[in-house]
Amino acid sequence: MTRHAPPQRRFDSLAAVKDSPARRDGQKQRVDLEEVFGAHTFSLASMQARLPKPAYKALLKTISDHTPLDPTVADAVAVAMKDWAIEHGATHFTHWFQPLTGLTAEKHDSFLAPTGDGRAIAEFSGAELVQGEPDASSFPSGGLRATFEARGYTAWDPTSPAFLMEGPGGAYLCIPTAFASWTGDALDQKTPLLRSIQALNTQTLRALKLFDTPARRVRATLGPEQEFFLIDEEFAYRRPDLVVAGRTLFGAKPPRGQEMDDHYFGSIPERILDCMNDVELELYRLGVPLKTRHNEVAPGQYEMAPIYEDANTAADHQQLTMSTLRRVARRYGLLCLLHEKPFAGVNGSGKHLNWSFGTESQNLLEPGDNPHDNMQFLFFCSAVLRAVDRHQDLLRVSIAHAGNDHRLGANEAPPSIISVFLGDQLTDVFEQIEEAGSAKSSKAGGLLGLGVDALPKLPRHAGDRNRTSPFAFTGNKFEFRALGSSQSISFPATVLNTIVAEAIDEMVTDLESRMAGGDDLGQALRGLLADEAKNFKRIIFNGDGYSDEWVEEAERRGLLNLRSTLDALPSLVGSKNADLFEKYQVLSRRELESRHEIMVEQYFMTINIEGETAADMARTMILPAATRYLSELLLCADRADEVGVKVKGVENTARAVAESIEGLVDALDHLVAQNAELGGDEVHSKAEHMQENIIPAMAAVRTRVDELEKMVPDDLWPIPTYRDMLFVK
Ligand code: ADP
Ligand code: MG
């Protein structure tokens, strides 16, 4: 019997890496950042240059004060926008929106309008700018829209700038829009986010009036840090699991993992750097203010972060960042993996959502040098703490999805228990307030001397960082660290804005009643803050969030520990949360229920696809490779016997391989049966079936596959290994 040809030639891919496009090009483009930034957005400056003065003023007012726009202004804006887009090479326009898939959607229309005499002109009206009508039937609606009623509407969001996307076939104009059903129910991420921004604005202005702080508008601000992997596509495309599920369903841990910590903040490999430069350049053109980039903890893992912006723009820009990363990576022969856990045993990817709120001129979470004296800061900071304590469940739900289940509680991401890291200084201030009704001092940070006269003295922060907290105060903002790398930031931001709006509302009402009872503002505030501090005390935890003791301690404190997505999801539609969203007009009960339905469905679909893919790969790739190897071993043993050569090792190996194959077949049969079973007809029971039966069945198959990977010869192993994927850059 002759040896089979190897099913793949892994080392071809290495050749491809050496010849990557970045290496061929060789030369770097020099760019003028100031000229490039925002060049592909229909910015305020381009509007001012092109619009009649009254129209520009009206639009500006809409953007800054969120007042409704006059339809005649829309016509003028449409003409200016079209001219600008066409001058930049655009042929089409699209209403760009964010359906509940977590991705973005667009349907292109040409600017072309036939004139009836065989010619055509470019046309674009205010009506086309303001409203679109994509077929909504293929987007998730969670039962909001019966299939016969497929109508959906997009509505222009004038507060986020329109932009140009460049495809190989030419450019097109993207108009950020909200997306709703014919019945007026929100079917997207943007609408509730905008509503929550409005609620936060209203309540905060009420509070600021009490403090006599002048403000026209309050805005929430977001700075999302994005982690991701870049993997050579030659490898990635040979792995159906990466292509279909975005993560590896099999793969033994490489001998050299991240133990050496030599990747984190190491110098960025050249091909990767070229790719990131290109990503940044495209995003700069779109007006996305990217600021930092570095290697992350795991090999092959990186991070990018922008400078913060108002919440609505930041959320649009975050979606653009994810899609641009995916798109540009391909030019460099790379695949960008945004999944939370692409590789088992290797650090996963998250997204840190930095969140604050402020007026035109003031960040309301800036404590200043003497926080104990800064009553306005203490008031708003207390509002956040009260909100987080009261709505731990909602924050947990806002980050709940199948991908994130691999990280939360595992030893790399913050645990599923929501708590707040406040740092020594503020914790001390709130303790003083709780005990004495007011605080007399703030612990200072001081200067950090490095013992070398020539080096500058660095101002030391009043508290060290804590990486294990899911929700940390970091100087003048809170950092919600439990988001998954692949998810939209809109819903977590919507939740934060809404729960803080509620806390401010209730605290202002409390202050007002204390003042009606005769207190002056100072007395009323001291009374309120002392009461609040007592109540939210249990949510503050400055220790190690990864420790087992914390789990016990949190239970003693009565904090929630909603471990998995399915544990967390039911609370979304509980009456506390439904009432909250309804009261602040962020989501109606129907809208909330539909979102819940969609999240359950997405959980089911994600794991269902993984289960099917794992079974397919095991059956058609792994099992054949293993039996091929077994037959080689047996053939060798037979021959050896014939000629009287002793090969005990071969027989032992054959036995071990045969045993693993048997184990794999059993596990695989079980997985196939569970896949076929599906868990009933109803989406909730299907989702439960995934959690209870499919996940363990996949794990059992994986154990056997990973065991075989360590035995089967490299040239027979049909899929690239972790070693290939993580260390070739
Ligand atoms: P680190 O997490 O290392 O402390 P930075 O201080 O640079 O990093 O901030 C991380 C992110 O937080 C950045 O995107 C930054 O723009 C953002 N950020 C800073 N201030 C605010 C704010 N007031 N509101 C929202 N995000 C902010
Ligand atoms: Mg951070």
Identify the helix (H) or strand (E) that includes residue 483. Answer: strand 478-484
- Among all bound ligands, the one having the nearest atom to the CA of 474 is 1
DSSP 44-75: HHHHHHHS-HHHHHHHHHHHHH-PPPPHHHHH
Whether residue 95 contacts residue 86, with contact meaning beta carbons closer than 8 Å, is answered with: no
> Which one-letter DSSP state was computed for residue 353?
E
Question: What is the Å distance from ligand 2's center to 379 Cα?
Answer: 25
Does 451 reside within a domain? no
- Centre of ligand 2 to C-alpha 560, Å, is 24
**Beta strands 458-459 and 420-421, pairing class:** unpaired
Picking from 349, 368, 400, the residue at the C-terminal end of a domain is 349
Give the pair of three-digit tokens for residue 101: 């898939």
Does 338 share its domain with 355? Answer: no
**Burial label, 646 (beta-carbon count in 10 A; 0-12, 13-18, 19+):** exposed
Same domain, 118 and 26: yes
Q: Which ligand is nearest to the CA of 321?
A: 1
Ligand 1 center from residue 422 Cα (angstroms): 16
Pairing of strands 478-484, 471-473: antiparallel
Atom of ligand 1 nearest to the CA of 308: 16
CA distance 490 to 220: 12
Same domain, 182 and 56: yes
| Residue 13 covered by a domain | no
Q: State how far the Cα of 613 lies from the Cα of 472, in Å rounded to an integer.
A: 38
The ligand 1 atom nearest the CA atom of 474: 4
Q: What is the pLDDT of residues 579-603, one digit of tens each?
A: 999 999 999 999 999 999 999 999 9
Ligand 1 centroid–CA 471 distance in Å is 14
pLDDT at site 525: 95
Burial level of 558, CB count in 10 A (0-12/13-18/19+)? exposed
Helices (H), 400-545: 402-405, 423-436, 490-516, 521-536
Residues with Cβ within 8 Å of residue 593, at least 6 apart in sequence: 142, 143, 573
Q: Which two tokens stand for residue 379?
A: 């008031």
Residue at 455 is within a domain: no
Q: Which ligand is nearest to the CA of 307?
A: 1
**Separation of 349 CA from ligand 1 center, angstroms?**
18
Q: What is the mean pLDDT of residues 304-320?
A: 97
Q: Please identify, among 537, 554, 585, the residue that sits at the C-terminal boundary of a domain.
A: 585
Q: Which of 354, 360, 480 for a ligand 1 pocket mutation test, highest count of atoms within 8 Å of Cβ? A: 354
| pLDDT exceeds 90 at position 536 | yes
Among 288, 290, 292, 308, name the best residue to mutate to test ligand 1's pocket (greatest count of ligand atoms within 8 A of Cβ): 308
Which protein residue has the closest C-alpha to ligand 1 atom 6?
Answer: 474
Residue 470 domain flag: yes
At 27 the pLDDT is 47
> What's the distance, CA 195 to chain centroid?
20
217 and 231 fall within a common domain: no
- pLDDT of 729 reads 64
Mean pLDDT of 50-54: 93
DSSP string of 93-149?
EEEEB-BTTSS-B--EEESEEE-SSS-EEE---HHHHHEE--B-TTS--TTSS-TT-
Distance CA 154, CA 165 (A): 19
Q: Residue 467 C-alpha to ligand 1 middle, in angstroms?
A: 15
Model pLDDT, residue 1: 41
SS3 523: helix
Nearest atom (ligand 1) to Cα of 366: 23
Nearest bound ligand to the CA of residue 223: 1
Among candidate residues 552, 585, 618, the one where a domain is terminated = 585
**CA 252 to CA 630: how far, in whole Å?**
20
Here the tokens at position 254 are 């490489």
Are 343 and 489 in a shared domain? no
Confidence of residue 294 (pLDDT cuts 50, 70, 90): confident
Q: Does 724 have pLDDT greater than 90?
A: no
Q: What are the backbone dihedrals phi and psi of residue 80, each rounded to the nearest 5 degrees, phi first?
A: -65, -40
Neighbours of ion ligand 2 (CB under 5 A): 352
Q: Determine the distance separating the centroid of ligand 1 and the alpha carbon of 221, expressed in angstroms.
A: 10
302 and 382 inside one domain: no
DSSP state of 678: T
Three-state SS for 517?
A: coil
Total of domains in the chain: 4
Residue closest via CA to ligand 1's atom 14 equals 223
Range 288-309 average pLDDT: 88
| CATH number of domain containing 313 | 3.30.590.10
Nearest bound ligand to the CA of residue 227: 2
**Ligand having the closest approach to the CA of 362:** 1
Same domain, 152 and 261: no
* 323 & 365 share domain: no
CA of 642 to the centre of ligand 2 (A): 66
Ligand 2 centroid from CA 275, angstroms: 23
Going by the DSSP 8-state scheme, the letter that residue 714 receives in this structure is T
Query: Looking at ligand 1, which residue's alpha carbon is closest to its atom 3?
Result: 474
Indicate the pLDDT class of residue 117, thresholds 50, 70 and 90: confident
The number of the ligand 1 atom at minimal distance from the alpha carbon of 223 is 14
- Rounded to an integer, the average pLDDT of 177-197 is 92
| Contact present, 314 and 190 (Cβ < 8 Å) | no
Q: What is the CATH number of the domain that holds 665?
A: 1.20.120.1560
- Please state the atom number of ligand 1 nearest to the C-alpha of residue 305: 14
Report the atom number in ligand 1 closest to the C-alpha of 363: 23
Residue closest via CA to ligand 1's atom 17 equals 223
Contact 230, 272 (CB under 8 A): yes
Residues 533, 400 share a domain: yes
3 state DSSP class of 318? helix
pTM, 2 dp: 0.93
d(CA 696, CA 106): 38
Q: Is residue 454 part of a domain?
A: no
In the reported structure, the alpha carbon of residue 479 is separated from the centroid of ligand 1 by a whole-number distance in angstroms of 8
**256 vs 705: which has the higher pLDDT:** 705
Pocket test for ligand 1, best of 464, 477, 478, 481 (most atoms within 8 A of CB): 477
- Pick from 171-185, 438-452, 480-494, 498-512: least confident: 438-452
- How far apart CA 194 and CA 480 sit, in angstroms, is 19
Clarify whether residues 196 and 183 are in a common domain: no
Q: Which ligand gives the minimal distance to the CA of 461? A: 1
In DSSP terms, 228 is beta-bridged to 302
Q: Give the pocket of ligand 1 (CB within 6 Å).
A: 221-223, 225, 305-308, 354-356, 363, 474, 476-477
Measure the CA–CA gap between 286 and 503, rounded to whole angstroms: 36
Please give the residue range of the domain that contains residue 680: 603-727
371 lies in the same domain as 328: no
Q: Distance from the CA of 37 to the center of ligand 1, in angstroms?
A: 20
Q: Are residues 198 and 279 in the same domain?
A: no
For residue 469, how far is its CA from the centre of ligand 2 (angstroms)? 11
| pLDDT tens readout for residues 217-244 | 999 999 999 999 999 998 899 999 999 9
CATH assignment of the domain containing 104:
3.10.20.70
Which of 353-357, 560-564, 617-621 shows the lowest per-residue confidence on average (mean pLDDT)? 560-564
Contacts of 657 (CB under 8 A, 6+ apart): 626, 629, 630, 633, 708, 711, 712
Phi-psi map region of 329: left, alpha, beta (phi>0 left; psi -120 to 50 alpha): alpha
| Other CB atoms within 10 Å distance of the CB of residue 682 | 10
Closest ligand 1 atom to the C-alpha of 365? 23
Q: Assess contact for 632 and 654: CB atoms under 8 A.
A: no
Q: Rounded to whole angstroms, how far apart are CA atoms 592 and 595?
A: 5
Helices 311-331 and 490-516: crossing angle, nearest 10°? 160
Query: How crowded is residue 718: how many other Cβ atoms within 10 Å of its Cβ?
Result: 19
Residue 165: in which H helix or E strand, if any? strand 163-167
The pLDDT mean for the chain works out to 89
| Contacts with 32 (C-beta within 8 Å, 6 or more apart), sequence order | none
Q: Looking at the domain assignment, is residue 11 inside a domain?
A: no
Q: What pLDDT does residue 23 have?
A: 46
Ligand 2 center to residue 255 CA distance, Å? 29
Q: What is the number of the ligand 1 atom nearest to the C-alpha of 358?
A: 23
Nearest of 566, 648, 579 to residue 607 by alpha carbon: 566
Nearest protein Cα to ligand 1, atom 11? 223
How far is it, in rounded angstroms, from Cα 208 to Cα 218? 10
Mean pLDDT, residues 545-566 taken together: 94
Mean pLDDT of 677-699: 96
